[in-house]
A and B are shown apart, each in its own frame.
Chain A
Amino acid sequence: MFTYLINIVSVWAIPFLLFIIPLVGYFKGVKVYEAFVKGAGDGFYTAIKIIPFLVGMLVALGVFRASGAMDIFAQLLNPVMSFINAPAEIIPLALMRPLSGGGALGIAAELIGAYGPDSFIGRLASTMQGSTDTTFYVLTVYFGSVGIIRYRYALTLGLLADISGLLASIYIVNLLFK
């Protein structure tokens, strides 16, 4: 029931916004079309501005992944995972989650397909995939768009959140589905 309601909200949210904002704008005396075009113009420059940041980050990540370096790290983490009651199969997903959204989704889909969506690994992979965002991508794009080079403690924060999301996923899936 809850899921059903939320699904309806997800489907209607965008049409609703596209309907209500211009309507309210019109009644408030905004020249709606002119305002839209003025705002939309910024979209181009912002998107172009993030290209160098994106290229830098994605190239490093791409090489790291394709070379097999990531698999080596996954193996090093094996003992840690058995200590926290998590199957070793999900290590690549845990490592990929903060680095690449598309990559992580690919691994999650693979795990779900291989072990079955209703298996322990399938449920854990599903929960992990949904529980945090792609920290590296978000930081690269968001900071890149305003030309910030020094991230202060933002990366530490993002990774801390990722680790907690991961541990919480393992805990709750163990608790409910084991």
Chain B
Amino acid sequence: MVNLIWLFLLLCGIVVAAINGNIEVVTKSALDAAQTSVTIALELIGIMALWLGILKIAEEAGLVRALAKLVMPITVFLFPSVPKDHPALGSIVMNLSANILGLGNAATPFGLKAMKELQSLNKKPEEASEAMCTFLALNTSCITLIPATIIGIRASAGSNNPSEIVGTTIFATACAMLVAITADRILRHRYRKKHGG
């Protein structure tokens, strides 16, 4: 599916640009995007290094394992394929907590660490595992208690009550999360049936 979407986005864009008579936009936007990608990755290096360093201390001190143990009832339900005391669960919990608190730049390193640990349990290294699908579904739909950026934008636009959208945001994101968890169960079941195992 990702192959088709990628192809569609790219080809569709080029065709539309050609029809509109501004084909030069294609070259410019493609080159710009390629450069932006590298900038994003480079900016990530420092943040990644900082949090993975702190995480390593937490790991060696046994804190990650303790955290994983604390939320075990939930993770056993969500990630039946991951062993109960696996370090992946600790990283997943750190990632989701950072997301909930709106600490975007701390969330990514924890999340990538979680992916690495889930990958160590993955039997087909080029294909997403069930636990990875669940994790990413939770991650992309995760509740944010405080959408700080948007509140800032509202405040600077002169809103009478910049944070009045906190409640509606929590409601919407909770709905998204509920759907994600339910759909994950259904899709997992269907996929197992279709591919056996």
Contact = CB atoms under 8 A, between A and B. Distances in A.
B83 interface: no
Contacts of A69: 9, 12-13, 15-17
Given A10-B148, A43-B109, A51-B37, A118 B161 contact: yes
Nearest to A125: B150
Contacts of A135: 140
Contact of B176 (A48, A132, A149, A173): A132
Majority-rule SS of A interface residues: helix
User: Which of A48, A135, A141, A148 has its CB near the most chain B CB atoms (within 10 A)?
Assistant: A148
Nearest to B26: A63
A143 B2 CA distance: 12
Given A150-B127, A172-B168, A141 B112 contact: yes
A151 B2 contact: yes
A133 B140 contact: yes
B56 A153 contact: no
Interface in B14-60: 14-17, 20, 22, 25-26, 28-30, 32-34, 36-38, 40-42, 44-60
Contacts of B75: none
A120 B26 CA distance: 35
Given A138-B140, A145-B116, 19 more contacts: A2-B166, A21-B63, A35-B60, A43-B45, A46-B116, A47-B45, A63-B17, A67-B17, A130-B150, A138-B139, A147-B125, A148-B132, A152-B133, A157-B137, A157-B180, A161-B183, A168-B172, A168-B176, A176-B167
The 8 closest A-B pairs by CB, nearest first: A39-B56, A130-B147, A43-B48, A62-B33, A43-B49, A165-B176, A117-B159, A168-B175
